[in-house]
Amino acid sequence: MVGDADLRIPREGYSVNGAPEVVDRVWRKAMDLGFGHVFRSEIGTWVRDDHIVLQEAGIRAINVIDFTYPYHHTTDDTMDKLSARSLAIVGSVAVALVR
């Protein structure tokens, strides 16, 4: 859920609570790369997802998600809704983090 053409990714609540250092590292890297307009500093929705189970197992996992993507888990979530630019932004942050 990071392919929205109007991509806005706030910090997810359980991620901030369970792995704040990872959230800070990811958002700091996004800022360094000039993507502050996408990776927002505010805390968004708290999403119960598989990252919580990973956190409970001791893995410092976070959820990076655009909560405003209207097609999430619908039959309208099709390829024509995706933005190559948005996917490239998130991919650039991920690659920069592992370098």
Query: How many Cα neighbours within 13 Å face the side chain of 86?
Result: 18
User: How far is residue 37's CA from residue 72's CA, in Å, rounded to a whole number?
Assistant: 21
Residue 80 dihedral angles phi and psi, to the nearest 5°: -70, -10
- Per-residue pLDDT band for 17 (boundaries 50, 70, 90) equals very high
pLDDT, tens only, 27-81: 999 999 999 999 999 999 999 999 999 999 999 999 999 988 888 889 999 999 9
pLDDT score for 90? 97
pLDDT score for 62? 97
Write down the pTM of the prediction. 0.92
